[in-house]
Structure 1
Amino acid sequence: MEEPPSERIAAYVAALLERWCNLTEGEEDTSPWSTGPLIGEVRGPLIYFPMKWSIAGDASLYAVTVAESMGLVCFDVQQNRLRP
């Protein structure tokens, strides 16, 4: 059984979507997410969301910055480390 998004993670997803829309909305080229809707990648207190390579640098930095501002932690699977 899938666990619904925690309030903090749902708020995090909403903050990310203020900057970039879901892949399922609008033009595909405007969204850095390679799956959608983004909230569909949430499992309780965790979210795993792949990004398009072409914009991953900017999107990743933004995702980390927003997470830090909200007291959340990001783990980068590509770098196999926590992102400060």
Structure 2
Amino acid sequence: MSDRWCDITEDEEDTSPWSTGPLIGEASGPLIYFPMRWSMAEEAPAYAAAVAETMGLICFDVQQNRLSP
């Protein structure tokens, strides 16, 4: 996902959807949590789910308590 948005720690133009950084710090074992800013709440999750699917990964939306399509 860093191809589309940079880490918030490198975001000079304020375009990153991530609310913490570095994002790799949100990885724990087989999981990674993507904390996102409200302003990107529609665009970023859809993109994250699409990228996960292409990689054979599962994307779970904790706020909606469901798997993302």
TM-score range, shorter chain: over 0.9
Match of 2:39 among 44, 51, 54: 54
Of structures 1 and 2, the one with the larger relative CO (CA 8 A, separation 6+) is 1
State the TM-score, normalized to the length of structure 2: 0.93
Alpha-carbon distance in 1 for matches of 2:56, 2:68: 13
Q: How many residues align?
A: 69
Match for 2:14: what amino acid?
Answer: D
Compare the two structures and name the one with the higher helix fraction. 1
Match for 1:31: what amino acid?
Answer: S
1:25 match: 10
2:62 match: 77
Alpha-carbon distance in 2 for matches of 1:77, 1:59: 14
1:64 match: 49
Aligned CA RMSD, in angstroms, stands at 1.1
The alignment-based identity, stated in percent, is 72
User: Which runs of no fewer than 5 residues in structure 2 stay unpaired?
Assistant: none
